[in-house]
Structure 1
C-alpha cells in the first residue's frame, strides 16, 4: 500500500548507515522512472550514482572491468525504492552481482511476490492503530493532537476510512481542515458510496520492505 511509510523508513536507515560504506546509492521511484525513461536509463543511473562516474548506454560496456572492480572490492549500501515488478528487480540486481563482502541492498515494494527467495529478510510495515491514527489526523485537521469539540465522532469515521495509512491520515486531515462537520459527512459519504479515494492520495494493495 502506498503511503504506509516504506520509503520514509528506508530513508532513515540509509541516513543512519551510509557513512559506513564505500559506495552508496538511494534510487527513488524506480517504477515511475522505468515507465518514463526505460530500464536501461534506470540501470545506468544506479551505476552512475553508486560509482560517482557517468555511466551511459554508449559507454557502459566499455567500463565493465571498472564497474566490476569497484563493486567487488568495496562495501556498498543500496536502496531500490518502489520496485513494482520482477523484471525491474532482476534487471537492477543483475548489475549488482559483484557487490563486495558486507554490502547491503534494501528494496521497497508494494508487491512482496517479486521478492520470493531473492532476499534474506522481509519487513512488513504495519498500519497505525486507532489512537495514533486519530492523533496524526487531528494534527492536520485541527493543529492539535486530538479532535476539536463536536468533531469527535466524525473524526473517528474519517480515521477509519483512512485505514491506518499515515499518508492518508495526513492528507485527509489537511483536506478537512477548516471545513464544517456537514461537509465532512457529505464528502465521506461520497467517497464511501463511490469507492473513491480522496484528493491527493491513491490506494494500492500491499506493503513490504
Structure 2
C-alpha cells in the first residue's frame, strides 16, 4: 500500500525517497544506518554524499533539506534508531510527508505519527496495481499478462506482503516461467507462496531462468 500511495503522491513534492526493507538493510550493516542516510540524500538531492557517521548524516539532512518539501517512505522499520537517524519530522520543509510501515504499532505511535493506518486486505484493483508496480514497475498490467496476473493474485488473499513477493518473483521473467510458477502454486497452495515460488524457480533449467 505504501508504494502505491508513494507513486500517486510523488509528483506533488520537490523530492522523494522510498527506502525499502529498512529492517533488513540495517541488519546487513550490523545495525548501522549510515548507508540508508546516504541513499536518502542521493534520492532527495540527486547527488552522492559521503557520510562518515550517523551524526554527520543527521546534520547534512537537516542542513540540506530544511526548506525542501519532500515525500519519504520508510518501509519495514523496527527500531527507534532508524527513525531518529533518518527522518525527524523537523528536518524537512513545510508540507513534507513521512510514511512509515512497521509491524510495531507502538514504535510508530511513540514517534509521534499524526495517524496510524492498520493494513487490511487490498481490494482487487489495489492488489492489481501493487502487483503491477512490483512485476512491471508500472501501475497498470499490460493486456498480455493481465489474465496471468489475476491468477497469481488469487493466492495472495489481498495481503500486501504476499502480493509484493509474487510481483517481485516474476519480474522480468517470460510467460513460460510465469506459467510454471503458477502451476506450482495450484498444486501446492498449502505450502505458502514464498516456498512454492522458490521451488518453482530453483527447479528450472539455468537457461530458462535467464529468459
8 Å contact from structure 2 (residues 34, 53) kept in 1: no
The equivalent position to 1:15 in structure 2, one of 7, 29, 32, is 7
What is the Cα-based RMSD across aligned positions, in Å?
Answer: 3.9
Deviation at 1:93, TM superposition (A): 2.3
In 1, Cα distance between equivalents of 2:60 and 2:152: 55
Is 1:105 paired with 2:101?
no
Q: Which has the larger radius of gyration?
A: 1
TM-score, scaled relative to structure 2:
0.57
In 1, Cα distance between equivalents of 2:105 and 2:80: 10
Structure showing the higher helix proportion among its residues: 2
Decide whether aligned partners of structure 1 residues 48 and 97 sit closer, same or farther in structure 2, where only a CA change above 3 A counts: farther
Matched residue pairs, number?
156
Decide whether aligned partners of structure 1 residues 200 and 17 sit closer, same or farther in structure 2, where only a CA change above 3 A counts: same
Deviation at 1:175, TM superposition (A): 3.6
The equivalent position to 1:48 in structure 2, one of 26, 42, 49, is 42
8 Å contact from structure 2 (residues 67, 93) kept in 1: yes
Decide whether aligned partners of structure 1 residues 63 and 109 sit closer, same or farther in structure 2, where only a CA change above 3 A counts: closer
TM-score, scaled relative to structure 1:
0.57
Structure 2: which 5+ residue stretches go unaligned? 124-146, 167-180, 196-211
Q: Which has the higher contact order (CA 8 A, sep 6+)?
A: 1
Deviation at 1:28, TM superposition (A): 1.0
SS in 2 for 1:121: coil
Deviation at 1:85, TM superposition (A): 2.0
SS in 2 for 1:124: coil
